[in-house]
Amino acid sequence: MTTISADQATGTPTAAASTLDLAGVSRWYGNVVAVNDVSMSLGPGVTGLLGPNGAGKTTLLHMMAGFLAPSRGGVTLDGRPTWRNPEVYRRLGLVSEREAVHTFLTAYEFVLASAKLHGLPDPAAAARRAIALVEMEGAQDRRIGTYSKGMRQRARVAAALVHEPQVLLLDEPFNGMDPRQRLHMMELLHRLGDAGRTILFSSHILEEVEQVSGTVQVMVAGRLAASGDFRTIRRLMTNRPHVFTVHSTDDRALAVALMAEASVTGVELDRAGLTVRAGDYGAFTRVLPKIALREGIRVRQLVPQDESLESVFSYLVEA
């Protein structure tokens, strides 16, 4: 308690970094296990929580934010539990996935209300600072109901940042944003992470995580499947075997030609068409048109079979 107020008094909230610790956290609903024995420790910087929909990311985030009691294990922020402990919100901010805003307020009123509820010494200044951080000054006096999805999201981020929390949790912050808004949000998260804050955002899109964070925690089916440096994990993901279904004017001839290719590890011919297994995604997709041209075969359809995130992730789990 004393350290918290001391940090706030000095006005340098970045001075003391915060750590969010999860120790053997599980959560189940009846027979359904949503989160299964997850342990991790989050420190300063940006961390991506990656996983397909339904992997338990939101449940995990809710437990981190003190909005759900772990069925087993514990979540602590700087050693204090987040569940049933409103005091953690002095150091923690949450941007939930549900687009829930008081549409009848303007962004300024909304952020100012947050500042007041936090009991900040100068709520008006804090609100202006937070709105400037998300670059919403121009629209701050319009009702939130009139905003686009991306603007609402920024207003919510401003409200969550108004007390300059050490830890900011964001659930699918890029959902529904256009590319420009997305870029803007990514920059913001970068800046916050570089300033020594602990930022965790969840996403089910690989590329989003790649652009924002160096470290990732990958969740699959409620379990922590991988964690660490993004590039290492990405390499594991891209080097996995890929399966394609190919339809062409002469499947049999194409199968023969493909077997000679180094990037192809297997070919299967049946009535449905040609199923090709490739070890290298890039090499195969580059070589296929050349072979077709050479053999005088027209490729009618090329469908990657296992591009769903689930299959990418389940490969990762097995690896």
Q: Which is nearer to another protein, 67 or 148 (CB)?
A: 67
Range in contact with another protein (rule: CB under 8 A) among 55-63, 127-135, 277-285, 295-303: 55-63
Phi, psi at 56, each rounded to 5°: 105, 10
34 near another protein, judged by CB under 8 A: yes
22 near another protein, judged by CB under 8 A: no
Q: Which of 16, 17, 23, 113 binds another protein (CB under 8 A)?
A: 113
Q: Which is nearer to another protein, 27 or 128 (CB)?
A: 27
Q: Which is nearer to another protein, 123 or 273 (CB)?
A: 123
Q: Which of 19, 23, 54, 302 binds another protein (CB under 8 A)?
A: 54
> What gap in Å lies between CA 177 and CA 148, rounded to an integer?
9
Between strands 198-203 and 167-170, the pairing is: parallel
> What gap in Å lies between CA 292 and CA 258, rounded to an integer?
9
118 near another protein, judged by CB under 8 A: yes
- DSSP string covering 184-234, please? HHHHHHHHHHHTT-EEEEEES-HHHHHHH-SEEEEEETTEEEEEEEHHHHH
Q: Which is nearer to another protein, 117 or 259 (CB)?
A: 117
294 near another protein, judged by CB under 8 A: no
CA-based nearest residue to 216, from 225, 227, 207: 227
DSSP letter, residue 136: -
Residue 194 CB, nearest approach to another protein (Å): 24
Helix, strand, coil percentages, rounded to 5, for the chain: 40, 30, 30
117 near another protein, judged by CB under 8 A: yes
Residues of this chain, 77-106, that bind another protein according to CB under 8 A: 84, 86-90, 92-94, 96, 98, 100-105
Residues of this chain, 196-215, that bind another protein according to CB under 8 A: none
119 near another protein, judged by CB under 8 A: yes
**Structure token digits, residue 275:** 């199923």
72 near another protein, judged by CB under 8 A: no
Cα–Cα distances in angstroms (integers) from residue 142 to residues 148, 151, 181, 192, in the given order: 12, 11, 19, 26
Q: Count of alpha carbons within 13 Å of 301, Cβ hemisphere only?
A: 9
Residue 310 CB, nearest approach to another protein (Å): 15
Q: Which is nearer to another protein, 65 or 200 (CB)?
A: 65
Q: Which is nearer to another protein, 102 or 129 (CB)?
A: 102
Three-state secondary-structure class, residue 88? helix
Q: Which is nearer to another protein, 131 or 159 (CB)?
A: 159
> What gap in Å lies between CA 73 and CA 28, rounded to an integer?
12
Total number of residues that touch another protein (CB under 8 A): 38
Q: Which is nearer to another protein, 119 or 282 (CB)?
A: 119
Q: Count of alpha carbons within 13 Å of 304, Cβ hemisphere only?
A: 15
27 near another protein, judged by CB under 8 A: yes
Three-state secondary-structure class, residue 318? helix
59 near another protein, judged by CB under 8 A: yes
Q: Which is nearer to another protein, 63 or 297 (CB)?
A: 63
159 near another protein, judged by CB under 8 A: yes
> What gap in Å lies between CA 27 and CA 167, rounded to an integer?
22
Residues at the contact surface with another protein, assessed by CB under 8 A: 27, 29, 32, 34, 54, 56, 58-59, 62, 65, 67-69, 84, 86-90, 92-94, 96, 98, 100-105, 113-114, 116-119, 159-160
